[in-house]
Amino acid sequence: MARTPLSSVDSAWLRMEDPTNLMMVTGVLSFEERLDPRGLHKVLEERLLSFPRFRQRVQEPPFGIGPPMWTTDDRFRLDAHVHRVALPQPGDKEGLEALVSDLMSTPLDFSKPLWQVHLVDYGGGSVVVARIHHCIADGIALIQVLLSLTDTSAEPQQPPAARPPEEAGESSWPALPRAVGRLAEAGLGLLRDPSRALDAATLGAAAAGTLAQIAMLPPDPSTPLKGALGVSKRAAWSEPISVAEVKAAGVRDGATINDVLVAAATGALRRYLIARGQDVRGLEIRVAVPVNMRGTDRGAELGNQFGLVFLPLPIDVADGRGRVLEVKRRMDDLKASLQPAVAMGMLSLIGYVPSRVQPLAVEFFGSKASAVLTNVPGPREQLYLAGRPLARAMFWVPQSGRLGLGISILSYNGQVLIGVASDAGLVPDPERIVSEFEADLAELIRPRRSGGRRRRPAKPAAD
C-alpha cells in the first residue's frame, strides 16, 4: 500500500477542518444540454483518476505523532463518489442554490478519498457540483483539475496517461528551508525586475519586515460580516456579465478588469452593510486574497502553493469611479509586496506546530480580515465536457478560521460571474450581495455604454 506524507501546508489545511468551516473547494459547472451520466463517469475515470490523489485517503499517524499520510484506498469505487441528485419542484435557480448550500454544509467522508461529484438535472440541461477537500489542492489547482476534464471541441480528445507521483503532486513533507527558500523563488514584484533585485540578506530583512507588518495589523472592525459561526452555509451567484464591458469600464482610469470587479464587490459590500444599519463613514474592511505561487510551468500540480495578501477595501468611498481609482491604487501597492510569500511560509509552519496550537495560528489569520476574495481568470474559449458545451462555471474556496464570508469571481469564455458563500447566521441572504454587485457594476459600465461623461470622484462619504 503506497503511503506518502502530506506536505506541511496540505497538513495545515487538513487541521483547519471545523464543523463551522469545512475545508472544501466547491465548483459548479452548468450545461444547457443534458449530460449523459455514463459519459461523465467515463471522463472522471479516464481523467480525474489519472491524478493518483483522487484514489487516496488520509490516514492519521499513530498517537498523533508525525504527519498524516496519503494512502491508497484499496476499497475505492468511483460510484461511491459520483451521485445523481434531483431538485425538488419547481427545480429553479433558488432550488439549485439551496442544494449547493446544503452540500457546502455537509462534511466529506474522511474514511474515503476526500472528494465527491453530484450530477443534477436542471431545466433542460445539467449541473455538475464538485466538492474537493482543500488538503488535496488549493482552489487554483483544483480549477485546473476540473478544466482537465474538458475539451475544446465536442469530440473528446485522447485522455492523458496516468500521471506518475511526482507529476501528480505527490509532495513529501518538505524541510523548513524549502518553505523559506520559496520566498526567494517567488519574490513577486521585487524580483521580476532585475534592476530591483535584492541580495539574500536584503530579501530576508524585507520578509521579516513584512511578517512584522502582518502581525501588527489590528483585527478587522466589528460589522455584521463578523461574529460567531454556525454549521450552515448559504450560496448564491450572479448571471453572466460581459468581460469586454467590464474591461471598457476601466480603460479611462488605466484600471484592470480585476480592479473594476473588486471595486464593484466593494460597492456591493458597502450597500449591504448600509442596509444592515452599519455606519460606513471612515470604514474599511480587509479581505484575504489568495495569490498563486506556482511557476508558469507548474500550473497543473496538486497541493497547496499559494500565499495571501490582506487587501483593505474602501467601504467609505461612495462614488463608483472614485472607488475604482482607490482600489487600483491599493492593488498596485500590493503587487510589489512580499505578503504572499511570507503568508505561504506561515501556512507551512502551521503544519509543523502541535495540533493544539494550530487553532491559534488559524485565528491569527482570520482576525485580520472579514472575508476571503478570489478572482481567477478562466479559459477564454468554449469548453466541452463529455461532448456537451460548458455554459457557465463558478467555484468557492473555504473561509478558514472565523471568517464567514467568501466572494468568488471567475471569468470564462468572455463572461464573468460572481459567487457569494456565507455563514447562514451572519449573512443569511448572500443573493442580496450578488444583486448589489450586479447593480454597482452596471453603474460602472453604464457611462461607457451611453458615451456620457463620468462624474468626478467624490471624497469618502456615507450614504
Q: pLDDT digit string (tens) for 412-429?
A: 999 999 999 999 999 999
When pLDDT is cut at 50, 70 and 90, the band that residue 62 belongs to is confident
pLDDT tens for 300-349 read: 556 666 667 889 999 999 999 999 999 999 988 887 666 666 666 666 66
Q: Please determine, for residue 73, whether its predicted confidence score (pLDDT) is greater than 90.
A: yes
Q: How many whole angstroms separate alpha carbon 56 and alpha carbon 72?
A: 4
| 226 grid coordinates | 463578523
Distances (CA, A) of 65 to 171, 355, 453: 19, 10, 65
Instruction: Map residue 396 onto helix, strand or coil.
Output: strand
Residue 127's nearest CA partner among 99, 88, 147, 151 is 99
The pLDDT of residue 102: 98
Give the pLDDT band of residue 194 (cuts 50, 70, 90).
very low
Q: Which residues fall within 8 angstroms of residue 52, CB to CB, at 6 or more apart?
A: 2, 72, 162, 163, 165, 168, 170
What's the chain's average pLDDT? 81
pLDDT of res. 256? 93
Rounded to whole angstroms, the Cα distance separating 254 from 455 reads 16
Is pLDDT above 70 for 98?
yes
Q: What percent of the chain has pLDDT over 90?
A: 57
Backbone angles phi, psi at 217, to 5 degrees: -60, 130
Instruction: Report the topology of domain 178-380+399-450.
Output: Chloramphenicol Acetyltransferase (3.30.559)
Q: What is the mean pLDDT of residues 446-452?
A: 61
Average pLDDT over residues 49-60: 94
Count CB neighbours of 185 within 10 A.
11
Rounding to the nearest 10 degrees, give the CA dihedral for residues 237, 92, 82, 403.
30
Task: State residue 351's pLDDT score.
Answer: 59
pLDDT band (50, 70, 90) for residue 355: low
- Label the pairing between strands 82-86 and 115-122: parallel
For the record, the C-alpha cell of 200 comes out as 539574500
**Whole-number pLDDT of residue 188:** 39
Which of 112-116, 227-231, 271-275, 377-381 is the least confident region?
A: 377-381
- Fold match, 3-158 / 178-380+399-450: yes
What pLDDT was estimated at residue 192? 40
**CB-based contact 224:276 (threshold 8 Å):** yes
* More confident: 458 or 402: 402
Span 63-75, mean pLDDT?
A: 88
Reply yes or no on whether the pLDDT at 254 is more than 80.
yes
> Taking the domains of the chain in order of start, what are their residue ranges?
3-158, 178-380+399-450
Question: Residue 394 to residues 56, 83, 108, 283: CA-CA distances in angstroms?
Answer: 26, 19, 20, 30
What nine digits make up the cell of 65? 505523532
- 241 contacts 415 by C-beta, under 8 angstroms: yes
Residue 429, CA distances (Å) to 28, 86, 141, 277, 405 in order: 19, 24, 29, 15, 11
pTM, rounded to two decimals: 0.82
Q: Which residues contact 218 (CB under 8 A, 6 or more apart)?
A: none
**What is the rounded CA–CA span in Å between residue 232 and residue 426?**
10
3-158 belongs to CATH 3.30.559.10: yes
Which position has the higher pLDDT, 236 or 296? 236
Q: Does residue 7 have a pLDDT over 70?
A: yes
Tell whether the torsion through CA atoms of 87, 88, 92 and 97 is positive or negative: negative
When computed from its CA atoms, the radius of gyration of the chain, rounded to whole angstroms, is 22
pLDDT of residue 138: 76
Among 313, 306, 315, smallest CA distance to 280 is for: 315
Whether 432 shows a pLDDT value over 60: the answer reads yes
What average pLDDT does range 389-409 have in this prediction? 91
Of 299 and 31, which is predicted with more confidence? 31
Q: What pLDDT digit, counting tens, does each position of 101-143 carry?
A: 999 999 999 999 999 999 999 999 999 999 999 989 877 777 7
- Give the full edge-to-edge strand order of the sheet including 24-31: 82-86, 115-122, 125-133, 24-31, 388-396, 384-385
In this prediction, residue 249 has a pLDDT band, given cuts at 50, 70 and 90, of very high
Query: Is residue 292 pLDDT above 80, yes or no?
Result: no
* Residue 307 near residue 341, CB atoms below 8 Å: yes
By mean pLDDT, which of 18-32, 101-115, 267-281, 290-304 is the weakest?
290-304
Strand partners of residue 242: 415
* Alpha-carbon gap, residue 77 to 385, rounded angstroms: 22
What's the confidence (pLDDT) of residue 180? 37
CA distance 439 to 425: 25
Q: Is 60 helix (H, G, I), strand (E, B) or coil?
A: coil
Q: Which residues contact 97 (CB under 8 A, 6 or more apart)?
A: 234, 235, 236, 237, 431
Q: How is residue 220 written as a grid cell? A: 478587522
